[in-house]
Homo-oligomer: A and B are copies of this chain.
Amino acid sequence: VPIVVLGPGAVGRALIGQILAQRERHRSRLGVRLAVLAVADSRQAVLAAEGEIEDPQLVSLCEAKARGEPLPENGDVLGPDDWLEAVDELADVAPIIVDTSAADTTAVLLGARARDWRLVLANKVPLTGRYSAFAMLTRNGRGARWETTVASALPVIATLQTLLDVGDPVRRIEGTLSGTLGYILSRVDADIAASAAVAEADAMGYLEPDPRTDLSGLDAARKALILARMLGHPLELAALSPDGLYPAEWDELSVDDFRARLPEADAALAARSVAAREEGRVLRYRAVVEDGAVQVGLAALDPRSPLGRAGATDSVVVLTTEHYRANPLVISGRGGGPAVTAAGVLGDILSLVRDGG
């Protein structure tokens, strides 16, 4: 099965490592061999000279990217306009394009779909642009998977997809969808200043280069939007107004100025955490999709509720449907980390090919 990997970042490199390490398992369990035909970053694509990129070259390519170098040349090196066509000529059957980047890859992905390539996305950005692109990329899950765009590899998307396919009406989706904010709020709950918790999260590699991606609620809002769109609501990202953990006018600052001013926001968040505790509640960053509306923000929750009792770095999603009404369907567990996400992406690829496709 030919594979094209977009975005050789931490997740993409972990994915390539797992593909190489698990080859024998894929063969013996599923009779499948995943062959990497091309690896592309935002500037260019490296294509196999013929057949597939050889394992040693894949390894050295990943090592170069890990050192911050550009993609090394292998066979052909092509810009984004040319490489879809070149890969199509190289492949015997339509490849699976796997997007582990965090860039706006909508154009290239739509080009791949127009060529009937199958799609696996860990990248939320192309699914949270225009609704029409979401519909064209996902096609209700026909030849497409995007499990790790929400709660990493936890089986949230696959489960929701099945509920939608069988026609069990989904009444409400509630979840803690940001491991980063979950961690920060757990530290604030332990009376650590929010800015210090942000620094800790940064040191552990949880944060984007611009921490506002998480702290503004944008990342959680993108996940909630994907869930809402799956339910058939043609919402746009601009219509969502997630609670940020800092004053909105700080969006105008440079990243350095933003980081410098962050301690000014500590007192307000600490006060909300204390107020929640005084009511016997716990502060969580929650997304709710219900009645066609999306709410993303801070909520003081019952500590015995599924979201309230979850560990700091757990993601939790609660699906309330006609069938799961009195006893909602709850999925929880570790919701992040490059190796876990890469395993989820690999699971999506194998799910597409398991039945001989």
CA distance A331 to B333 in the complex (A): 9
**Mask for A298-321, Cβ within 8 A of B = 1, else 0?**
000000100001010110000100
Known: A18-B166, A142-B356. A333 touches B328 (CB 8 A): yes
Known: A329-B333, A331-B331. A351 touches B162 (CB 8 A): yes
Flag whether A203 is at the interface (Cβ < 8 A): no
Closest residue on chain B to residue A328 by CB atoms:
B333
**Does A347 lie within 8 Å of B154, measured CB to CB?**
no
Flag whether A350 is at the interface (Cβ < 8 A): yes
For the complex of A and B, list the 6 residue pairs with the smallest distance between their C-beta atoms, beginning with the closest.
A329-B333, A327-B334, A162-B347, A22-B167, A29-B140, A165-B350
Contacts A155-B159, A323-B334, A324-B334 known; list 14 others, CB within 8 Å. Answer: A21-B167, A25-B165, A25-B167, A29-B165, A30-B141, A30-B165, A142-B355, A155-B155, A162-B347, A162-B350, A165-B351, A311-B327, A323-B340, A355-B355
**Does A164 lie within 8 Å of B29, measured CB to CB?**
yes
Flag whether A31 is at the interface (Cβ < 8 A): yes
CA distance A324 to B343 in the complex (A): 11
**Does B329 lie within 8 Å of A324, measured CB to CB?**
no
**Does B330 lie within 8 Å of A333, measured CB to CB?**
yes
How far, in Å, is A300 (CB) from chain B's closest CB?
Answer: 21
Partner of A165, one of B162, B328, B354: B354
Closest residue on chain B to residue A156 by CB atoms:
B155
Q: Which residues of B contact A26 (CB under 8 A)?
A: 165
| Interface size range on A against B | 35 or more
**Does A140 lie within 8 Å of B30, measured CB to CB?**
yes
| Central interface residue in A21, A166, A354, by most chain B CB within 10 Å | A166
12 A-B interface contacts by CB (under 8 A)? A22-B166, A26-B165, A29-B164, A29-B165, A30-B141, A155-B158, A163-B347, A166-B346, A166-B350, A323-B339, A323-B343, A327-B333
Flag whether A153 is at the interface (Cβ < 8 A): yes
Flag whether A352 is at the interface (Cβ < 8 A): yes
Q: Which residues of B contact A309 (CB under 8 A)?
A: 304, 309
CA distance A22 to B140 in the complex (A): 15
Flag whether A238 is at the interface (Cβ < 8 A): no
CA distance A242 to B344 in the complex (A): 34
| Central interface residue in A140, A311, A327, A330, by most chain B CB within 10 Å | A327
CA distance A339 to B32 in the complex (A): 35
Flag whether A357 is at the interface (Cβ < 8 A): yes
**Does A143 lie within 8 Å of B356, measured CB to CB?**
yes
